[in-house]
């Protein structure tokens, strides 16, 4: 032949064309029965058989091309993305294992890149299922999708995919792995019984060593979640024994060391060292070395810890993420050695050199703890708050967040008590210590420059005016704000006492504030509540004698309060049925007797308690009248007198008492339209012990008419006093008045000889 190559070319082209023909692709389904279906389900009993795939791939070019194109066009990309995402998952889980062992089944925190890669793996593998069911990668694609959902934490979808695999692809050589991951998923979904049965069955029957090894790993995690550390370690070691993967063994050894560190840091240091006996990844090698150094510090082996920390500082000096942790560990090292100055300086260096990192957050937390231990609550608050802002993944994030909230509330309550708003924003000193290369003259680095930072603290002195004038609807309305303010202060001190007791563990401070809250309030229910809290405090301190004394005080003096029966129960006394009579009757009767006997101070206290605690009482109008009369004629405080008289006129306008004082109220309001009221003089102040007004707490309406103060009698008494004052003015002929015998007696009725004042007691 002259051109022998021509027939060969023709044959090659013919074979190439025929390879594209469907008749050269062996199918396991009847095409006539599946017309219109792009890729019908094949006979998986055949297509999942390795020998079948080898034979058809060799004999039929179409089958060979399908497997080839499926692998390189879809499955290869899916598996590459999955492997990359899994490596990140494994590193993150191992890195956080020490801190998060108690929540081992919690949804993993992955980077967005890893999440995207898992989703790409799902997308690519889904195309294999959609278009290449007869390929040899069908079962692996279904399994890969299920595993991707599992590592993403979408356990319901993962369970569905593994169940689909087990029901349709039983002939697959990957069946045991699918059963393993189904059991893992069920464990995450708290379906423990079938999961544990599957693990034990796989350990007993599976011929795949990696499946047996991972089954032991899952059992170890189950025991770890149940705080059974002994069985957890035992199963992790079994996982190492059955595995043929050196990298997997390194991971399991790291977990053994991490669990051991919970109870025996000295032994844990040795266990972390064993991780390096296996083929540990670069990240795992660092974690093993770092945690070994950490446990050497915890166990007090400072010499070896110092050497290892120094080695880590050099080895990872170009890896900021690792170097920040090593530098923080150096601060902990100084802390454990009680070298406080060095530890504080080291923590500040971490904050300045590695901002917005977990080590920075942890270093800030450590500084906050130091300030709190020194009772420097302002700086403690700043650094707890700063810790939460540095990283939400900080080791102590939750503790720092709670502490910051506690101290923020502490300063809010201090502000209420002192009457001054306490500025708790970051000040210049704080910025200087936490900012690298801080320059005072650079406005960009000193955001607070030129601003008034306010005060970082404040004294506890209370200075509340008797009354204020507020212009509402262009008219003057006199409001006795001292009463409202006093209630706020008492409530603030009570809350502060609870904060000291339950959040700051300062029982001594709690007792002080409870006693102050009690002394500064005449509210019936509130006083009983404070006493009950004081009793609880004494019980907490194991001072049962004092606790019972306080409980008996509640039963005796506050028998109708909400906590009275609880007090009786703690004292093993019989309960008292809900009171159905009028509790204000006896209170008003007592006030009336005190008034008649000229014990005006005590009478005023009782009138005000009645007003606040029994706003529906039939004695309310007379209580308002009595309180106003004492302010006007005994204490000479017109502001407070007007407060009670005007409230009487507005609240009970049809009462006899309202008719008596209505003209006084009108005259007072007319006077204030053209005059400014001076409430700062001593003549407008009430005795410290008198100002105990609080907002009323509503009770059920009570009907009784026992006891009475006739307003006409009070009016006559008022006229008598007015005539006496006028007589004194005429006799003196000057602005300075001499005290009559009656006035001296009035003063003697007020204890300790104090000048009556409308200001609440200070500290």
Separation of alpha carbons 445 and 426, rounded Å: 13
Separation of alpha carbons 707 and 694, rounded Å: 24
> Is the torsion defined by CA of 327, 328, 331, 336 positive or negative?
negative
Separation of alpha carbons 459 and 568, rounded Å: 39
Q: Which one, of 509, 397, 426, lies nearest residue 460 by Cα?
A: 509
pLDDT per residue as tens digits for the range 421-468 = 999 999 999 999 999 887 655 544 443 343 333 334 333 333 332 322
Q: Which one, of 503, 576, 510, lies nearest residue 539 by Cα?
A: 510
Separation of alpha carbons 101 and 291, rounded Å: 15
Take residue 675 and report the two structure tokens written for it. 């005059």
List of residues 6+ apart from 119 with CB closer than 8 A = 148, 152
Percent of the chain, pLDDT > 70? 73
Helix locations, 499-523, DSSP H: 507-519
In three-state secondary structure terms, 469 is strand
Asked if 362 and 328 count as a contact pair (C-beta separation under 8 A), the reply is yes
Helix locations, 448-504, DSSP H: 481-498
Whole-Å CA distances, 377 to 135, 362, 407, 495 = 68, 18, 7, 17
pLDDT per residue as tens digits for the range 204-239 = 999 999 999 999 999 999 999 898 999 999 999 999
For residue 573, with 0-12 CB atoms within 10 Å meaning exposed, 13-18 middle and 19 or more buried, which class applies?
A: middle
For residue 667, with 0-12 CB atoms within 10 Å meaning exposed, 13-18 middle and 19 or more buried, which class applies?
A: exposed
In three-state secondary structure terms, 694 is coil
Between 61 and 507, residue with greater pLDDT: 507
Residue 679 φ/ψ, nearest 5 degrees: -110, 10
Q: Which one, of 122, 168, 125, 132, lies nearest residue 38 by Cα?
A: 132
pLDDT per residue as tens digits for the range 361-400 = 999 999 999 999 999 999 999 999 999 999 998 999 999 9
Q: Which one, of 160, 167, 212, lies nearest residue 182 by Cα?
A: 160
Take residue 170 and report the two structure tokens written for it. 């039983």
Mean pLDDT taken over the chain: 79
Binned at pLDDT 50, 70 and 90, residue 696 comes out as very low
Between 6 and 381, residue with greater pLDDT: 381
Which residue ranges form the domains of the chain, and what is each CATH number? Answer: 473-570 (1.25.40.10)
Separation of alpha carbons 561 and 583, rounded Å: 11
Separation of alpha carbons 742 and 270, rounded Å: 90
Q: Which residues pair with 478 in a beta bridge?
A: 469
List of residues 6+ apart from 468 with CB closer than 8 A = 479, 481
pLDDT per residue as tens digits for the range 292-332 = 999 999 999 999 999 999 999 999 999 999 999 999 999 99
For residue 13, with 0-12 CB atoms within 10 Å meaning exposed, 13-18 middle and 19 or more buried, which class applies?
A: exposed
Would the pTM of this model clear 0.85, i.e. be above it? no
């Amino acid at each position: 032949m002259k051109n022998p190559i021509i027939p060969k070319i023709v044959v090659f082209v013919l074979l190439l064309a025929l390879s594209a023909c469907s008749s050269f692709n062996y199918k396991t389904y009847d095409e006539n029965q599946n017309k219109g279906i792009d890729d019908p389900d094949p006979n998986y009993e055949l297509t999942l058989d390795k020998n079948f795939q080898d034979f058809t791939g060799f004999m039929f070019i179409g089958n060979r091309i399908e497997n080839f194109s499926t692998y390189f066009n879809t499955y290869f990309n899916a598996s590459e993305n999955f492997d990359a995402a899994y490596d990140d998952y494994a590193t993150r889980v191992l890195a956080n294992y020490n801190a998060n062992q108690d929540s081992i089944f919690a949804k993993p925190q992955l980077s967005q890149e890893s999440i995207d890669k898992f989703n790409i793996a799902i997308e690519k593998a889904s195309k294999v299922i959609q278009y290449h069911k007869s390929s040899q990668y069908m079962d692996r694609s279904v399994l890969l999708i299920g595993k991707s959902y599992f590592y993403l934490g979408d356990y319901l979808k993962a369970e569905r995919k593994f169940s689909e695999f087990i029901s349709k692809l039983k002939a697959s050589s990957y069946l045991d792995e699918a059963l393993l991951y189904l059991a893992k998923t069920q464990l995450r979904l708290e379906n423990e019984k079938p999961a544990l049965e599957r693990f034990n069955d796989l350990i007993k029957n599976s011929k795949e060593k990696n499946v047996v090894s991972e089954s032991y790993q899952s059992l170890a995690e189950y025991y770890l979640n149940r705080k059974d550390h002994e069985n957890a370690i035992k199963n992790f070691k079994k996982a190492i024994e059955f595995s043929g993967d050196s990298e997997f063994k390194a991971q399991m050894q790291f977990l053994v060391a991490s669990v051991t560190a919970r109870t025996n840091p000295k032994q844990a240091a040795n266990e972390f060292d064993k991780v390096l006996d296996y083929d540990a990844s670069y990240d795992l090698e660092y974690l093993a070395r770092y945690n070994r150094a950490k446990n050497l510090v915890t166990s007090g082996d400072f010499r070896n810890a110092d050497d290892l920390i120094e080695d880590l500082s050099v080895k990872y000096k170009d890896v900021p993420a690792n170097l920040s942790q090593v530098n923080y560990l150096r601060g902990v090292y100084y802390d454990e050695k009680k070298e406080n100055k060095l530890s504080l300086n080291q923590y500040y260096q971490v904050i300045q050199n590695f901002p917005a990192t977990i080590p920075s957050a942890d270093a800030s937390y450590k500084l906050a703890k130091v300030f709190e231990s020194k009772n420097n609550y302002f700086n403690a608050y700043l650094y707890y708050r700063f810790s939460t802002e540095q990283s939400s993944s900080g080791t102590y994030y939750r503790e720092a967040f709670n502490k910051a909230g506690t101290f923020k509330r502490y300063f809010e309550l201090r502000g209420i008590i002192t009457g001054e708003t306490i500025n708790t924003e970051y000040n210049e000193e704080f910025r200087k210590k936490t900012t690298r290369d801080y320059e005072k003259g650079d406005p960009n680095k000193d955001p607070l420059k030129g601003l008034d930072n306010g005060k970082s603290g404040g004294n506890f002195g209370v200075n509340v005016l008797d009354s204020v004038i507020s212009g509402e609807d262009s008219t003057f309305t006199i409001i006795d704000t001292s009463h409202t303010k006093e209630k706020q202060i008492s409530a603030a001190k009570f809350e502060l006492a609870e904060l000291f007791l339950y959040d700051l563990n300062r029982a001594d401070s709690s007792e002080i504030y409870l006693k102050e809250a009690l002394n500064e309030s005449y509210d019936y229910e509130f006083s009983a509540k404070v006493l009950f809290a004081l009793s609880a405090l004494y019980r907490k301190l194991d001072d049962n004698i004092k606790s019972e004394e306080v409980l008996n005080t509640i039963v005796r003096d506050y028998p109708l309060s909400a906590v009275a029966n609880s007090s009786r129960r703690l004292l093993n006394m019989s309960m008292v049925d809900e009171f159905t009579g009028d509790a204000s009757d006896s209170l008003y009767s007592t006030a009336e007797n005190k008034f008649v006997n000229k014990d005006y101070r005590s009478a005023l206290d009782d009138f005000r308690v009645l007003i606040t605690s029994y706003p529906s009482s039939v004695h309310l109008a007379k209580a308002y009248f009595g309180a106003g009369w004492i302010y006007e004629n005994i204490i000479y405080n017109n502001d407070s007198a007007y407060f009670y008289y005007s409230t009487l006129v507005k609240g009970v306008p049809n009462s006899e008492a309202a008719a008596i004082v209505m003209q006084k109220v009108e005259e007072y309001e007319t006077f204030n339209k053209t005059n400014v009221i001076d409430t700062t003089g001593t003549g407008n102040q009430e005795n410290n012990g008198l100002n105990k007004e609080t907002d009323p707490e509503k009770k059920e309406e009570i009907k009784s008419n026992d006891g009475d103060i006739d307003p006409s009698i009070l009016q006559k008494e008022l006229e008598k006093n007015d005539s006496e004052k006028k007589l004194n003015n005429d006799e003196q002929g000057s602005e300075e008045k001499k005290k009559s015998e009656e006035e001296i007696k009035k003063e003697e009725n007020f204890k300790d000889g104090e000048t009556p004042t409308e200001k609440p007691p200070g500290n």
